[in-house]
Amino acid sequence: MNMAVTDSGETMLKGISASPGICIGKAYLVDKEGVDVVERYFIPESKIRDEVKRFKAAVKKSTDELRDIIEKTPEDFLQQTSILETQQVLLKDKMLYGRAIETIEKESVNAEWALKKVAAEVKSTFQTMSDPYLKERAEDISHIADRIMRNLVGAEQVDIGRIYKRVILVAQDLSPADTSQIRLDRIKGFVTDKGGKTSHTGIIARTLEIPAVLGADTATASIRNEDVIIVDGTAGKVIVSPSERTLVEYEERSMRYKQHKAAITRKSRRPAKTADGHRIRIMGNIELSEEVVSVINYGADGIGLYRTEFQYMGRAGFPSEDELYEKYADVIEVMGTKPVTIRTLDINGDKAISPNNGSAEVNPALGLRGIRYCLQRPDVFETQLRAILRAATHGNVRIMIPMISTCEEIIRSRQMFNEVAEALDKEGAVFNSDIKIGALIEVPSAVVMADKIADEIDFFSIGTNDLIQYTLAIDRGNRQVSHLFRPLDPAILRLLKWVTDVAAEKNKGVYICGEMAGYAIHAPILLGLGMNEMSMNPQAIPTVKQMIRSIKMSDTQPLVKEALRLASAEKTFGLLQEAYGDVLSEIERTE
Ligand code: PEP
Ligand code: MG
């Protein structure tokens, strides 16, 4: 267990340092397994009827909520609502509904307790069934029980969109759909039980500079609503109910961190040039148009990855062409002549389109994700392409296609791009189709086929988050295997080398936009491999730039050669530490 009690009696949780910085504030628990925090109390005989009524009302509210979600789900996702329909039926099933009422009446206990007790029994009955379909229904029982429980206790837990105070969000896990509903300006920090560094909560937290500790295992069990907590995102620590002394210490640390940030930000506006004069473009990754501010602030040379799917999540229906056009135009205009790389819709996988209605795919990471989805829904893809082409009149735009796993996908994407341009032309619309198109290289088959893909595109951008996930068979959001998620793994370095060699041979640009690029220690390798551009979460830019300034380009090629001979991530890390450890600790010392 990642939990310890300090000398002064504070509880300290250890998790993954997902976004640096320190915040102090009150915890806001998004307790999805609310069933666990229930107390038992007895109900006098005269009040039993009211208690049953209260339970029935909570069930009715839950049924209405489910109906509402089903009705608002875009037609295309109706297949996913079958899970919710099953849950609707189970809500009124005798096993749960009938027995909970019976328990209230027979044991004279509160509805919450009765629900908790019955749900646990029913869940374990389902779990012991041999039929896999029925076994899976145990999950549905959990979801239903949670929903009824929330309605019973009147908690706001699901409605994270309505948080009105500045709080630290504590949750078991946050799906991208959850994150897309949150008013992020209200969030001081994130703490979750599950999730790793490259989970989307981690990425958003880094981009918005919100301190985050993820994968803390027991956070929701150890922290209560309104508890004062300290989140040390740099060290991956959470301190619950800190003593006065600890509070003072962390307030000072937080202040120092902010001062240091301000100092390196000032230096960050200068271009990234190695000690021997080689210039590399450093770009920012964004998810929401608001984040463009930090891209500018940290002196990025452009946007290397604009993740566009967040505009599609947590809502009913798809955004319209005009809505998308406005969003893109805003970002493009702010960036002026600097390139904005718009990644087309990378929906599904871990980014299901509609909130609260779990995906129907058994294995979503290998499912209808990214370009696969877009090619099956040409109407959705065309709408986005039209918006991009129109917005491209405002500045310097590139298009990047995610989840390319075959050449046909990129060929078809380009055809659709041409068709959209032709249609806009016929309509007499104002647009710009002089746009570079690139493939996001994140599936191993795309690396293998890079030479053929190169003939169809203008640039490669390597998405190491998924490339590591798919190459090493490591779920990027799974804490259990996060120790294996290593960008310096020799298998990954070999794939990167393969792509950069093909790019050089075919005279195509080669960029990297996975999280790997945001760690200063990787910079010598990435330079040596010949990356033309590195795109990262904006707050990583100052440190990476500082690192680049202390590297000699001429040292990096021999370094890569040596790294490629090594058989483990540890050894390559050791090699880098040996060559650049001093520089790094100097950078970190000033941090
Ligand atoms: C990646 O996979 O590396 C990437 C950049 O895209 P995302 O993290 O959005 O999947
Ligand atoms: Mg990806």
Residue 111 DSSP SS3: helix
Look at residue 161 in the predicted model and tell me its pLDDT. 58
* Cβ(190)–Cβ(201) below 8 Å: yes
What is the per-residue pLDDT for 209? 83
How far apart, in Å, are the Cα atoms of 224 and each of 86, 187, 218?
32, 17, 12
Q: Is the pTM of this model over 0.85?
A: no
Shortest-distance ligand to the CA of residue 198? 1
Asked if 513 is an active-site residue, the reply is yes
Whether 358 has a pLDDT exceeding 60, the answer reads no
Q: What is the rounded average pLDDT of the residues 327-336?
A: 94
Nearest to 117 by CA among 29, 224, 36: 36
Q: Is the CB of 357 under 6 A from ligand 1?
A: no
Q: How far apart are CA 360 and CA 175, in angstroms?
A: 15
Cβ of 465 below 6 Å from ligand 1: yes
- Assess whether the C-beta atom of 442 lies below 6 angstroms from ligand 1: yes
The verdict on the CB of residue 514 being under 6 Å from ligand 1 is: yes
Number of H helices, E strands in the chain: 22, 17
Q: What are the start-end ranges of the E strands in 338-462? A: 339-343, 396-401, 436-441, 459-462
d(CA 415, CA 373): 16
Q: What is the per-residue pLDDT for 52?
A: 93
Element (H, E) at 192: strand 187-192
Q: What is the spatial distance between Cα 519 and Cα 233, in angstroms, rounded to a whole number?
A: 15
* Dist. CA 164 → ligand 1 center (Å): 31
Considering the candidates 200, 374, 394, 522, report the single residue annotated as catalytic. Answer: 200
Residue 127 has pLDDT above 90, yes or no: no
462-509: pLDDT as tens digits: 999 999 999 999 988 887 888 889 999 999 999 999 999 999 999 999
Q: Is 464 in the pocket of ligand 1 (CB under 6 A)?
A: yes
pLDDT, one tens digit per residue, over 375-392 is: 999 999 999 999 999 999
Q: Is the pLDDT of residue 565 over 90?
A: yes
Rounded Cα gap, residues 257 and 187, in angstroms: 19
Question: Is there an atom of ligand 1 within 6 Å of 206 CB?
Answer: no
Residue nearest to atom 9 of ligand 1 (CA): 307
Q: Taking all residues of the chain, what is their mean pLDDT, rounded to a whole number?
A: 87
Query: What percent of the chain is modeled with pLDDT above 70?
Result: 88
Determine the average pLDDT of the residues in 355-382. Answer: 82
Q: Are 194 and 477 in contact (CB under 8 A)?
A: yes
**What integer pLDDT is reported at residue 482 of this predicted model?**
85
Does residue 144 contact residue 90 with C-beta atoms inside 8 Å?
Answer: yes
User: Of 143, 407, 513, 522, which one is the catalytic site residue?
Assistant: 513
Please name which ligand lies nearest the alpha carbon of 309. 1
Q: Tell me, what's the pLDDT at 36?
A: 46
Ligand 1, atom 4, residue with closest C-alpha: 463
260 is catalytic: no
Query: Tell me, what DSSP letter sits at residue 33?
Result: T
For ligand 1, the distance from its centroid to the CA atom of residue 310, given in whole angstroms, is 13
> How many CB atoms lie under 10 A from the CB of residue 379?
8
Q: What is the pLDDT of residues 178-236, one digit of tens each?
A: 666 676 777 899 999 887 777 777 877 887 789 999 989 889 888 988 899 999 998 89
* CA-203 nearest atom, ligand 1: 8
What is the arithmetic mean of pLDDT over 47-53? 91
| pLDDT surpassing 70 at residue 359 | no
